[in-house]
Structure 1
Amino acid sequence: MKYNRGDIVSVPAGAENAAVAQIVECLRGNVLIAVFPTLFSSDSAIDVETLSLDDPIFLAETMDLRITEDMWKILGNRDVPPSIPLPEYKVWVSPPGEYRRQDIRGNVGDTLTLKEAADLRLQKSFSPAVVESALRGLHGLGPWHAVFDELAI
């Protein structure tokens, strides 16, 4: 299954519920997705044109496997709202032995102060199963694990 930036996908959150997520960036074998908190019945039709896409609960880089295998169904496509920020990360560069700013695509930029570096995370990818588990945990349909805090926007 091919997918594109802006695609809205259905992410299962248990046997009967699903949430929607939007593909914010397509990366090699991964996607950056914005996941929205509202749950829908898994078998209900969702009009993507009426969805509010400005306030995601999670922003996560994950493998595209669930999309390419059609487990996360593509429901439609919309422009990615400008309110969804692309994350910036820190990366250690040695030599010279300093933190630098890194964008979502891995491009390394300017040197960071220690304060700036402390405020940024290292780039990390999460399995699709973690995203699904985080949705269940958010809605009390499963346990909440500390790692899910890293998905929160």
Structure 2
Amino acid sequence: MKKRLKVGDVIQIPVAEYRVSYAQLLIARDVLFVLVGSKLWMAADGVPKNTSDLDPIFWAWTLDAKIYHGHWAVVGNWPVQMDECDLPIYKVGYEGRVFLESFSGQKLREASSEEVERVPYRTTISPIAIERCIKRLHGLSQDDVPLDECLIANTVVLSDVV
């Protein structure tokens, strides 16, 4: 039976021997949206107490395969403290034009030429790519991963364009 995921679930992601990272589930649908922490923890240290303890560094749309197969464990649930203005926006092509779309999928307006260059399309990355991004952040891998486009610091959010 498939595990029922809930918004706010805290996920433990094994990274290296005895070391783990944590992520919080912000959207729990067919495709998941996770907020991933920058810190590595010793697995034996226990679960961080809240989202700010994670020191969030990147977020991504991903799938539940690693959870479903037991590679990633749901270890808690915290309240989600995000406003839509703080979440990423995306571009979408429609009838030969490019529009900005809010995190929740609402079409905002036509994108400027600068926004077409700056704002990404909504993409999904594999759970393995998330693990590789975490490893790359900590110098444990040199894999070519989509880390830069997932970094919170590089994200265009709704409040940037409204």
Q: How many aligned positions are there?
A: 149
Residue 87 of structure 1 aligns to a residue whose secondary structure is coil
Cα pair distance change 1:123/1:50, threshold 3 Å = closer
> 1:67: which partner in 2?
67
8 Å CA contact 2:89, 2:103 repeated in 1: yes
> 1:137: which partner in 2?
136
Structure 1 unmatched runs, 5+: none
TM-score by length of 2: 0.80
> 1:108: which partner in 2?
107
Cα pair distance change 1:81/1:53, threshold 3 Å = farther
Q: What is the Cα-based RMSD across aligned positions, in Å? A: 2.2
Greater helix content? 2
Residue 70 of structure 1 aligns to a residue whose secondary structure is coil
Residue 143 of structure 1 aligns to a residue whose secondary structure is coil
TM-score by length of 1: 0.85
Structure 2 unmatched runs, 5+: 153-162
- 1:29-48 to 2 correspondence within 5 Å? 30-46=31-47, 48=48
Cα pair distance change 1:70/1:143, threshold 3 Å = same
Cα pair distance change 1:128/1:54, threshold 3 Å = closer
1:114 deviates by 1.7
8 Å CA contact 1:27, 1:105 repeated in 2: no
> 2:159: which partner in 1?
none
> 1:90: which partner in 2?
91
1:2 deviates by 1.3
> 2:26: which partner in 1?
24
Distance 1:44 1:72 in 2: 17
Cα pair distance change 1:104/1:140, threshold 3 Å = same
8 Å CA contact 1:61, 1:125 repeated in 2: yes
Letter in 2 for 1:41: M
Cα pair distance change 1:107/1:51, threshold 3 Å = closer
Using the aligned pairs only, state the percent identity: 26
